Structure 1
């Protein structure tokens, strides 16, 4: 069977005809993301599960039995273990305990920096053709022998790409118009009378399916084991919210303590006729503040927050490794294709820096800027020659903040 290439021609067609419009099913897709083996995925699951057991916190995992979500304290006992040896081995152990189970692992790729690029290669092409998400995307792995999605028929606020890893997966879809006319679909498991109005997508390893955020859907199975990647691209944050959040940040800073007052002093609420003829003093002061905002201040805050937003590369979280820097450390970018973002402030003499995790640094240090430029050029750099003078201690702290966000490797 001929492979379906996710090339520029495909993405142009996808953006025009399918994105947020209608579902898509592709057979035998050629993509590095799909070519991750079941053994590689099992190793990632065990790695993440071991981390959760070590800190006694199953965050990132959810477990369902017969459609009921397990309590957090019970999830640790059912996570994959190295002794399972494979996804099939894990299923064999779970199948002896549960007739219907579903394990969900959100953001599995965050535990392995070497595999993260498989996801970003895919999303980079997607974003280039449909736009950068105002919220985020997240990748999850669903596995088990569950006969139906544990939470029933539902509609999300995200467009979904699914990539089966093991077993056959069936997705039953209803379009938005039908879902709106039949609210009884919401969270139901009993939809026999609605089936004739649905679309069924059946996929296996090597295939890919997509449906828009408006599609009502549920996964179905005959009880056989399956494992499936699911990439959700959230489309529920309008542009106006991003702008208002940025402006709010600026106003919070400008208003200072006056912005935290919870009671408003006044001389007169209205005259005898009920007419409002003026503002309380606190509102008048705020009005002056708004009138005095310069275009450069507004552009500066919007630019800074946009840079911070895109530093996450469109994801909810990014993988990182704990590193402890010293002035003697030698650094290299963790990913040569993911430079540390920076820009000059439009209202001060400082520069802003952003890296994975949405962290933001503000500094006027020339040495720090030169170091960042050289790192972004692909060089390996010892810290000490760049950090000099009175700002060196503060600069090292700034670098540590970027390191904590996952910006560097130490050589």
Structure 2
């Protein structure tokens, strides 16, 4: 593969509309890289100042909890210990991304700060991400694992962990500075195993593809592309959206079935040893299953088609209620009958389904939390919220079941469904 720089430079902004996504799904998704100039996307509407405010907000929370979860910091390519990370996070007095960079550059000649899932601390900006992923999923399918959005910033000259391959397709959106990515095909990397985690690869540059992007641009590469980010040591900040594609449907299906069987099997199924009469006869032939296996088989054979369908439906609803993400922003809201509530995001509905086996309705919130109830009031409230209405809780949840219904609603709200 010849060394080159690939980009599309249209005279007008590239709209990520239905035509774009249809072409992307057919010709680029999990097939080949793409670089676009002057992209029109909500993700690119977030200013550097807004992103700095998010970083400080998240950093303050980490300092308060004395836990840098979600942050990683690299110095000259080496990952810092968790305790040290807390000491180098952005603070309000930095005033801006460049202000933070100036403070870090005074201490470190080569540094990289990574913040995974930064948008989970901001409810108002979350929709910018879901607007993008909703269109993507509609055209390429819903990820069986998840997507995650990270922010990479610093003056690091190369990705701290060298040339590597992920199990996710990656979209990158520079916020500040120029971002350069060097890519190799999986076939080339297989023939040259010394490329794995390499920092010195001059002899392989001629066989690479180079993507270059600046603020307002977008790049993409598939999950099998070996890659590394490069820099001349100038400051850059970049959003990176990884869509993980390493979980086949068969794993989803078997996990759902396992959850169902775990709920149906008798307590004997939890024993750490298995009783038996004989292991095998004198010739080595095994002729008999232990009773524990026979009992478990009976449970499996007695499952009805409706029970199986409902179990798989619950599993699917839980998965999609997270909107394809690993984490969802939480809310702190105490539910009372006098409170007016609405969906936090009108595109993130509270999912529900009438049980196929009894009179209950089961619900999944925006955060993957299951609630089951026979309350008609709760169902009416959920359908009204999903219709985009602002609802007075006490108008829906009343009577003898009000207290129980309030507790169930609180679980849905705690998971992030309403505000």
Q: TM-score, normalised by structure 2?
A: 0.96
- Residue 125 of structure 2 is matched in structure 1 by 115
Task: Please state if 1:94 is matched with 2:104.
Answer: yes
- Residue 67 of structure 1 is matched in structure 2 by 77
Task: Give the drift of 1:30.
Answer: 1.0
What 5-or-longer segments of structure 2 have no aligned partner? 1-10
- In the aligned structure 2, how far is the partner of 1:394 from the partner of 1:197? 64
Task: Give the drift of 1:393.
Answer: 2.0
Task: Please state if 1:327 is matched with 2:340.
Answer: no
Deviates more, 1:125-134 or 1:176-185: 176-185
Aligned mate of 1:348, from 342, 346, 358: 358
Task: Please state if 1:249 is matched with 2:276.
Answer: no
- Residue 193 of structure 1 is matched in structure 2 by 203
What 5-or-longer segments of structure 1 have no aligned partner? none
Task: Please state if 1:391 is matched with 2:389.
Answer: no
Q: Give the 3-state SS of the residue equivalent to 2:128 in structure 1.
A: helix
- Residue 7 of structure 2 is matched in structure 1 by none
- Residue 45 of structure 2 is matched in structure 1 by 35
State the Cα deviation string for residues 228-276 of structure 1 (Å, max 9, x = none). 0000000011101111111001100111312211111111122222222
Aligned mate of 2:306, from 271, 296, 309: 296
- In the aligned structure 1, how far is the partner of 2:240 from the partner of 2:392? 40
Task: Give the drift of 1:118.
Answer: 0.6
- Residue 88 of structure 2 is matched in structure 1 by 78
Aligned mate of 2:246, from 213, 236, 251: 236
- Residue 135 of structure 1 is matched in structure 2 by 145
| RMSD (Å) for aligned C-alpha atoms | 1.1
Q: Give the 3-state SS of the residue equivalent to 1:408 in structure 2.
A: coil
- In the aligned structure 2, how far is the partner of 1:193 from the partner of 1:348? 66
- In the aligned structure 1, how far is the partner of 2:397 from the partner of 2:287? 58
Aligned mate of 1:124, from 104, 125, 134: 134
Task: Give the drift of 1:289.
Answer: 1.1
Task: Please state if 1:180 is matched with 2:190.
Answer: yes
Task: Please state if 1:167 is matched with 2:172.
Answer: no
- Residue 369 of structure 1 is matched in structure 2 by 379
Q: Give the 3-state SS of the residue equivalent to 1:347 in structure 2.
A: coil
- Residue 205 of structure 1 is matched in structure 2 by 215
Aligned mate of 1:153, from 153, 163, 170: 163
Deviates more, 1:290-299 or 1:326-335: 326-335
Q: Give the 3-state SS of the residue equivalent to 2:254 in structure 1.
A: helix
Q: Give the 3-state SS of the residue equivalent to 1:357 in structure 2.
A: coil
State the Cα deviation string for residues 350-402 of structure 1 (Å, max 9, x = none). 11101122111111111111111111112221222322344322211111111
Conservation of the 8 A alpha-carbon contact between 2:171 and 2:218: yes
Q: TM-score, normalised by structure 1?
A: 0.97
Task: Give the drift of 1:322.
Answer: 1.1
Task: Give the drift of 1:156.
Answer: 0.4
Q: Give the 3-state SS of the residue equivalent to 2:180 in structure 1.
A: strand
- In the aligned structure 2, how far is the partner of 1:31 from the partner of 1:120? 12
Deviates more, 1:47-56 or 1:58-67: 47-56
Conservation of the 8 A alpha-carbon contact between 2:349 and 2:366: no
Q: Give the 3-state SS of the residue equivalent to 1:285 in structure 2.
A: helix
- In the aligned structure 1, how far is the partner of 2:266 from the partner of 2:404? 25
- In the aligned structure 2, how far is the partner of 1:109 from the partner of 1:231? 11
- Count residues with an aligned counterpart: 409
- In the aligned structure 2, how far is the partner of 1:255 from the partner of 1:147? 55
Aligned mate of 2:280, from 270, 274, 284: 270
- Residue 21 of structure 1 is matched in structure 2 by 31
